[in-house]
Amino acid sequence: QVQLVESGGGLVQPGGSLRLSCEASVSSFRTYTMAWFRQAPGKEREFVAHIRGGRGGFRSYYADSVKGRFAISRDNAKNTAYLQMNNLNTDDTAVYYCAAGERVITSTSSSLSAYDHWGQGTQVTVSS
């Protein structure tokens, strides 16, 4: 059973930064593709970013809405994935979810169904 625990959310002013963490309780963490999704009130959950594991060479991919502002990374020694969020704006307000998938293929890597395991989410609120 894979468990994912997110942390690092909170309230930040527009233009500010936050770093989210996702710690996974799985011995084979390095083989998983790790991703971040978010869900704003009244909206569907949407893809934010992912980072490959295993033979993927830590390649990352971003939604257009966050490209250049967010950075996903991972530390396999700590079984942890991160999402560094800079220059936040009010549209970034959402619950952010960490996800993990063992057999994520490129064509569906931004889809919810590609990921087997999900965290409980952490709230990010951008407001002045």
Give the model's pLDDT for residue 3. 95
Name the nearest CA neighbour of 85 among 26, 19, 36, 34.
19
Q: What is the pLDDT of residues 10-33, one digit of tens each?
A: 999 999 999 999 999 988 999 999
Return d(Cα 109, Cα 105) in angstroms, integer.
Answer: 6
Q: What is the pLDDT of residues 41-75, one digit of tens each?
A: 999 999 999 999 877 678 999 999 999 999 999 99
Q: How many CB atoms lie within 10 A of CB 43?
A: 9
